[in-house]
């Protein structure tokens, strides 16, 4: 029997119908197209993965499905490894082409992509991958990269996807039965209060409300854990799962900027979009950023992999209100602002002297917007492992007085401190026994005694760190690191700065 020829668009972290090169290429080709997403058990079981990510993906696919259904088209989501699904499909159809986006992911997805490519080659199936976010595959230096990013990605026209011309495939009922044999756990299929909902529709809603209204407080609220929740764009999970393309965000922003008087806030937001690609390119340049310090000399830091301090940090029970509130908020909502992310990492690695890898894994699970290319380079930077970034050790008590002076954020997430006056929230352990009684918060029973004496430990660990950072071995490798990961402008800045403050 002659099998019907089809193409496949394999969706991964590109869950949208706009500005989508694989989709546009499949439409151009003209063959019936199977739109496919695989909930891969191997990925769902990896340590960085959490139900919150797959729920977001499920919601995003449901959004696409609803919009396709209006046009009598559809996609298929299968709870199975992708190669197994492709093998099932070949029993029924002759696959001519598989289209997908390149993914700058963790090692397991990188290996999976290579395996799919190999499988396609062995089957005589063409496999075409398209770049996204301006990331250049295999690039080992940054000469000219920034210009290329602006010209070839951000300023280039968004890809038009003519959905009317898209011919999606309605699959054979026997294959459909195979596709539906392993249903997703119900916890993935039900909405969880407190989290952003997935989907291209929501992505554009968040973006529009940011441009129209919320951005006016962007700079002022960026570092505030409470105010940032509405004043930042909150586009991160949508960008991470590709519900909206970075190029479309940039282009709509530029169009808006040309008519807006508010350059102060919007230009700062614009620079974040540039940073996004800049960081993702780092992981593309060297996948080992996920597993090893960028400057290998820092393995000598010999930080703890686990233990009771890790547990206290991970559960938000360190006795430092801003650390605990940030961690608990993250657990309940999947989002916290940049400053508090940086503080959580610097507190774990510089104060508690915990190894960056379990810290990175724990946060990856909690961040709804887990984007490996931003996450690992940022964690390494905050943990001091690049050897060229300015060392920032955030004092959690200062963060309270500067960024939550009224204690609104802390009281929401650490209810044990509800009755404590805001003036005492930076250092609640200094409350007298009488105050503790008066404010219904006994330190040591209602709320933990702080794990460490911050000032003392921070000073000791700073010394420990700088001994290694200033060693000849650390400096020897610095120029090759800078060349690999930094733009020429950054190299100049970092070379000038390399002295201990
Ligand atoms: C230790 C650590 C880990 C992080 N891990 C992630 C992650 O896994 N995924 C993620 O999207 N962001 C990560 N960030 C960056 C940043 O905190 C978030 O992107 C931001 O808080 C998301 O909120 P927003 O969308 O409202 O950001 P906005 O301020 O509105 O910025 C718009 C977009 O720009 C990008 N962006 C913003 N800040 C940065 C930055 N510092 N570096 C690179 N890109 C940036 C994001 O895509 C963001 O959605 C991390 C930061 C730190 C310190």
Instruction: Output the CA 277–ligand 1 centroid distance in Å.
Output: 11
SS (H, E, C) 297-323: HHHHHCCECCCHHHHHHHHCCCCCHHH
Stretch 345-355: mean pLDDT, rounded?
A: 97
Is 477 inside any structural domain? yes
Instruction: Output the CA 89–ligand 1 centroid distance in Å.
Output: 38
Candidate from 106, 242, 338, 364 with most ligand 1 atoms within 8 A of CB, to mutate = 338
User: Which of the listed residues 239, 258, 285 is the one where a domain comes to its end?
Assistant: 285
**Are both 271 and 298 inside the same structural domain?**
no
**Are both 213 and 70 inside the same structural domain?**
no
* b/e map 60-89, b = 16+ CB within 10 Å: bbebbeeebeeeebebbbbbbbbbebbebb
Q: How far is CA 117 from CA 96, 134, 204, 436, in A?
A: 14, 22, 33, 63
pLDDT confidence band for 498 (50 / 70 / 90):
low
pLDDT confidence band for 488 (50 / 70 / 90):
confident
Q: Which helix (H) or strand (E) holds 123?
A: helix 107-123
**Are both 473 and 369 inside the same structural domain?**
yes
* Residue-range definition of the domain harbouring residue 435: 289-493
CATH (domain of 111): 3.40.50.620
Instruction: Output the CA 81–ligand 1 centroid distance in Å.
Output: 30
User: What would the pLDDT profile of 213-267 be if each residue is shown by its tens digit?
Assistant: 999 999 999 999 999 999 999 999 999 999 999 999 999 999 999 999 899 999 9
Candidate from 134, 245, 374 with most ligand 1 atoms within 8 A of CB, to mutate = 374
**Are both 471 and 347 inside the same structural domain?**
yes
pLDDT of residue 373: 98
Minimum CA distance residue for ligand 1 atom 26: 234
pLDDT of residue 453: 98
Ligand 1 nearest-atom number relative to CA 234:
26
Is 256 inside any structural domain? yes
User: What would the pLDDT profile of 317-329 be if each residue is shown by its tens digit?
Assistant: 999 999 999 999 9
* Cα–Cα distance measured from residue 447 to residue 416, given in angstroms and rounded to the nearest whole number: 6
CATH (domain of 349): 1.10.579.10
Q: Is the pLDDT of residue 497 over 70?
A: no
Binding residue per annotation — 232? yes
Is 189 inside any structural domain? no
**Are both 49 and 76 inside the same structural domain?**
yes
Query: Contacts from 263-270 at CB under 8 Å and sequence distance 24+?
Result: 264/219, 265/215, 265/216, 265/217, 265/218, 265/219, 266/211, 266/215, 266/218, 268/218, 268/219, 268/222, 269/210, 269/215, 269/218, 269/233
Q: How many domains does the chain have?
A: 3
**Are both 278 and 334 inside the same structural domain?**
no
pLDDT confidence band for 491 (50 / 70 / 90):
confident
Stretch 459-488: mean pLDDT, rounded?
A: 92
Here the ipTM equals: 0.99
Is 227 inside any structural domain? yes
Quote the distance between the C-alpha of residue 42 and its chain's center.
Answer: 19
Strand partners, 97: 7, 126
Q: Is the pLDDT of residue 41 over 70?
A: yes
**Are both 331 and 280 inside the same structural domain?**
no
**Are both 355 and 215 inside the same structural domain?**
no
Candidate from 217, 266, 378 with most ligand 1 atoms within 8 A of CB, to mutate = 378
Instruction: Output the CA 135–ligand 1 centroid distance in Å.
Output: 17
What mean pLDDT is reported for the chain?
A: 96
- The more confidently predicted of residues 56 and 140 is 56
Minimum CA distance residue for ligand 1 atom 46: 236
User: Which of the listed residues 245, 260, 285 is the one where a domain comes to its end?
Assistant: 285
User: Which of the listed residues 285, 312, 329 is the one where a domain comes to its end?
Assistant: 285
Is 43 inside any structural domain? yes
Instruction: Output the CA 273–ligand 1 centroid distance in Å.
Output: 9
CATH (domain of 249): 1.25.40.80
Instruction: Output the CA 236–ligand 1 centroid distance in Å.
Output: 6
**Are both 258 and 300 inside the same structural domain?**
no
Is 184 inside any structural domain? no
Is 186 inside any structural domain? no
Is 317 inside any structural domain? yes
Minimum CA distance residue for ligand 1 atom 18: 338
**Are both 281 and 293 inside the same structural domain?**
no
**Are both 359 and 281 inside the same structural domain?**
no
**Are both 351 and 308 inside the same structural domain?**
yes
Distance between first and last Cα of the chain: 75
- Report whether 101 contacts 22 (CB < 8 A): yes
* Cα–Cα distance measured from residue 324 to residue 313, given in angstroms and rounded to the nearest whole number: 7
Q: Which residues have CB under 6 Å of ligand 1?
A: 232-236, 239-240, 269, 272-273, 275-276, 279, 337-338, 341-342, 345, 367, 369-371, 374-375, 378-379, 382
Stretch 287-297: mean pLDDT, rounded?
A: 96
Sheet hosting strand 4-11, strand order edge to edge: 75-78, 33-38, 4-11, 93-101, 126-130
């Amino acid at each position: 029997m002659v099998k019907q020829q089809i193409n496949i668009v394999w969706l991964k972290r590109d869950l949208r119908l706009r500005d989508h090169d694989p989709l546009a290429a499949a439409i151009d080709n003209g063959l019936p197209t199977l739109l496919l997403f695989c909930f891969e058990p191997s990925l769902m079981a990896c340590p960085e993965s959490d139900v919150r990510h797959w729920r977001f993906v499920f919601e995003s696919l449901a959004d696409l499905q609803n919009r396709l259904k209006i046009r009598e088209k559809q996609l298929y989501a299968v709870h199975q490894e992708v190669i197994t699904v492709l093998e099932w499909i070949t029993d029924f159809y002759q696959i001519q082409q598989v289209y997908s986006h390149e993914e700058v992911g963790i090692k397991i997805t990188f290996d999976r992509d290579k395996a799919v490519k190999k499988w396609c080659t062995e089957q005589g199936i063409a496999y075409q991958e398209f770049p996204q976010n301006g990331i250049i595959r295999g690039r080992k230096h940054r000469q000219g990269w920034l210009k290329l990013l602006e010209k070839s990605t951000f300023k280039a026209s968004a890809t038009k996807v003519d959905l009317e011309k898209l011919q999606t495939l309605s699959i054979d009922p026997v294959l459909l039965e195979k596709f539906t044999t392993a249903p997703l756990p119900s916890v993935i299929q039900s909405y969880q209060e407190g989290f952003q909902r997935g989907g291209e529709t929501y992505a554009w809603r968040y973006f529009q409300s940011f441009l129209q209204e919320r951005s006016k407080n962007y700079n002022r609220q960026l570092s505030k854990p409470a105010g940032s929740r509405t004043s930042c764009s909150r586009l991160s999970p949508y960008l991470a799962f590709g519900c909206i393309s970075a190029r479309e965000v940039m282009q709509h922003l530029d169009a808006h900027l040309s008519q807006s008087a508010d350059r102060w806030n919007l230009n700062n937001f614009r620079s974040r979009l540039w940073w996004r690609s800049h960081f993702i390119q780092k992981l593309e340049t060297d996948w080992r950023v996920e597993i090893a310090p960028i400057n290998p000399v820092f393995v000598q830091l010999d930080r703890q992999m686990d233990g009771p301090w890790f547990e206290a940090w991970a559960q938000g029970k360190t006795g430092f209100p801003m650390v605990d509130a940030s961690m608990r908020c993250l657990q309940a909502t999947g989002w916290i602002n940049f400053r508090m992310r940086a503080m959580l990492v610097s507190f774990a690695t510089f104060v508690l002297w915990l190894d960056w890898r379990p810290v990175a894994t724990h946060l990856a699970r909690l961040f709804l917007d887990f984007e490996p290319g931003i996450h690992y380079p940022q964690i390494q930077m905050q943990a001091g492992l690049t050897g060229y970034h300015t060392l920032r050790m955030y004092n959690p008590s200062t963060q309270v007085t500067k960024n939550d002076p009224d204690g609104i954020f802390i009281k929401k997430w650490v209810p044990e401190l509800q009755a404590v006056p805001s003036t005492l929230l930076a250092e609640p352990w200094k409350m007298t026994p009488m105050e503790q009684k008066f404010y219904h918060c006994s330190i040591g029973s209602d709320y933990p005694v702080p794990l460490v004496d911050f000032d003392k430990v921070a000073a000791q660990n700073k010394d420990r760190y700088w001994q290694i950072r200033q060693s000849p071995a650390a400096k020897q490798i610095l120029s090759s690191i800078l060349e690999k990961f930094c733009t020429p402008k950054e190299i100049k800045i970092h070379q000038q700065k390399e002295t201990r403050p």
